[in-house]
Each structure stands twice: as C-alpha cells, then as structure tokens.
Amino acid sequence: MPNTIGDYQTLECSIDALVATITINRPEKLNSLSSAVLDDLRHLVTDLRMRDDVRSVIITGKGGKAFVAGADISELAALNDPEEGREFALMGQSVFSLIETSPKPFIAAVNGFALGGGCELALACHIRICSDNAKFGQPEVNLGIIPGYGGTQRLTRVLGRTMATDLILTGRQMDAREALEQGLVARVVPIDDLLPTAVSMAMTIASKAPLAISAALECIVEGIDESIDEGLGREAECFGQLTTTADFHEGTSAFLEKRKAQFQGK
C-alpha cells in the first residue's frame, strides 16, 4: 500500500515500492507555481533526496488538464523592482536545481499543459513522458518577460539553439507529437496510461543499482557542460569507483549465477 508522507498545502506525496509520486495539487489554478508551491517543493524534494525508502520520483499535476500551466500570474504582476524580480527568478531556479542535481532520477509525467514554469519544471526532471493531450511552451514574452526558472538554458540544451529560440521568441505551444519528434519527451501515451507508464518506468529504475544510477545521472547532468575529454574523465572516475561497491559484486555475481540481483545501494 502507498505510504502518504508530509503535510503540504499544495502538494500530495506517496511512496510505494521505492517510488515517490509528487502531485501538484492546485487544479483550480491549473496547478500554477505559486511561491507556496515552490516552498513546498523545496522541502519535499530535499526530504526525498535523503530518504532510504525512495529510489526514483515521479512529478505530475492534479487532474487531466494541466501538469503546471505556469507561474502564478497574480504574484508575477506584483513585481516592479529589478532586485525583487531577480530574487523571484532565483527562487524558482534553486528549487529546480535541487531536482536536476538529485542523485535519484525524477520523471515528469506531463498531463496536459506544461507552460512557462511548468515547462521549466519538466525540463529540470531527468526523464519526461507525456499524455497525448500535452502542450509545452515558454510563453513569457507574451507577458513582457522571459523564462526565469531555467527555460532559456535547459530548453536550449535539450532541443538545441534553433528550436529553443523558436519556442521562446514566438511563445508558441508544442504539442505532444512534436515534443516526441524533437526529443523533448521520451514517450507519449494516452492520458489514462500516463501514470501507470511513469510508475512502471520508475519501478524499473528503482530495481537497478542505486549507486550506478546516481553515477550515471552525475555523468549526464554534469558532463553536458564539460568538454568531451572532461566528461570522459568523469565517466572513467565514476566507473572505477563503482567497481569497489557491494552492488557491483552483487550484480556481476547474480548475472553469472543466473539470478535476479538484490541491490542495497552499498
């Protein structure tokens, strides 16, 4: 049975079979990212990163219409000072960096609209899958601003300069089919299959060696900003360190003995 954890105003979270599922729970506001949501996310993600009973995490939105439709516009509209605006952006960036740098993989299960901050939240996750009604976009120029929670940086790294510039400067929305074609998402499924697909993927990852998963994420996330030689050096260092772990010896022994490995994260 899933174990519900935390007492958050804007989020629901349960843990089952080493998989945590976070649901952003503001359906009446299309799950928009208020400062309260970001604060709850900060505390919850920090907790999940440290828990021994969690090996992978899913993030989704309440209801079938929106994953996260963007930032809370009423809070945005109140900004009128450069330093205040900078701090507003840094607040979201810091929370999303906690997700991106997590040693445990985060899977965005995008149901419906992922616009503005919602697209940026999905981009901070390590894997993105979406429902066939999903829409992605960075429409901030329509409000007279730019993406502030990492969109100009992560979208460019995921899609490349040309496509990211197209989306950010036009403010247009990308549907699920195009998102799959462009490599923004790994899979597109019917809305009713979205969460089961995410759970299946998360459980598959959770069954693997945790230290190997963490090292792979480090090489991918950190290596993308390094030269190829630096990235290869990091990969070799991580590979070497993993050969000293109990999980490595369990994995190789299980393979040779034709049995399922039992990884302990040691």
Angle at 127 between CA 141 and CA 266, to 5 degrees: 135
Cβ atoms within 10 Å of 262's Cβ, excluding its own: 10
β-pair type (173-175, 135-137):
antiparallel
Per-domain residue ranges of the chain: 3-206, 210-256
Examine the pLDDT at 157 and tell me if it is beyond 90.
Answer: yes
CA 51 and chain centroid, separation: 18
Catalytic residue among 28, 84, 100, 120, which?
Answer: 120
Give the pLDDT band of residue 101 (cuts 50, 70, 90). very high
The top-level CATH class assigned to 210-256 is mainly alpha
In this prediction the pTM is 0.95
Mean pLDDT of 16-44: 95
- Residues 6+ away with beta carbon under 8 Å from 207: 263
Q: How far is the C-alpha of 165 from the C-alpha of 264, rounded, in Å?
A: 44
- Residues 6+ away with beta carbon under 8 Å from 232: none
Examine the pLDDT at 174 and tell me if it is beyond 90.
Answer: yes
Q: How far is the C-alpha of 81 from the C-alpha of 78, rounded, in Å?
A: 9
- 265 DSSP assignment: -
Percentage of the chain lying above the pLDDT 90 cut: 91
Tell me, what's the pLDDT at 14? Answer: 96
- 125 DSSP assignment: S
Q: Could you tell me the sign of the dihedral formed by the alpha carbons of 165, 170, 173, 178, in that order?
A: negative
| CATH superfamily ID and name for 3-206 | 2-enoyl-CoA Hydratase; Chain A, domain 1 (3.90.226.10)
Q: How far is the C-alpha of 5 from the C-alpha of 200, rounded, in Å?
A: 21
Tell me, what's the pLDDT at 183? Answer: 97
Mean pLDDT of 196-221: 97
Examine the pLDDT at 25 and tell me if it is beyond 70.
Answer: yes
Give the pLDDT band of residue 138 (cuts 50, 70, 90). very high
> 51, 38 in Cβ contact below 8 A?
no
Examine the pLDDT at 108 and tell me if it is beyond 90.
Answer: yes
Mean pLDDT of 111-118: 97
Helix (H) or strand (E) holding 232: helix 228-242
Q: How far is the C-alpha of 177 from the C-alpha of 174, rounded, in Å?
A: 8
Record the tokens describing residue 216, joined without a space: 């792979």
Examine the pLDDT at 242 and tell me if it is beyond 80.
Answer: yes
Catalytic residue among 75, 100, 140, 222, which?
Answer: 140
Give the pLDDT band of residue 72 (cuts 50, 70, 90). confident
Residue in the structure block whose two tokens are 């090292």: 215
Told to judge if 230 belongs to the known catalytic residues of this protein, a careful annotator would answer no
Mean pLDDT of 176-196: 97
Tell me, what's the pLDDT at 76? Answer: 84
Q: How far is the C-alpha of 88 from the C-alpha of 73, rounded, in Å?
A: 13
- Residues 6+ away with beta carbon under 8 Å from 214: 103, 104
> 176, 133 in Cβ contact below 8 A?
yes
Told to judge if 75 belongs to the known catalytic residues of this protein, a careful annotator would answer no
Mean pLDDT of 152-160: 97
Catalogue the E-assigned strands of the chain: 3-4, 11-16, 19-24, 56-61, 66-68, 106-110, 113-115, 127-131, 135-137, 173-175, 187-189
Examine the pLDDT at 83 and tell me if it is beyond 70.
Answer: yes
Examine the pLDDT at 4 and tell me if it is beyond 80.
Answer: yes
Residue in the structure block whose two tokens are 């209801």: 63
Q: How far is the C-alpha of 184 from the C-alpha of 173, rounded, in Å?
A: 13
Tell me, what's the pLDDT at 1? Answer: 66
- pLDDT averaged over every residue in the chain: 95
Record the tokens describing residue 55, joined without a space: 């090996």
Mean pLDDT of 194-210: 97
Tell me, what's the pLDDT at 160? Answer: 96
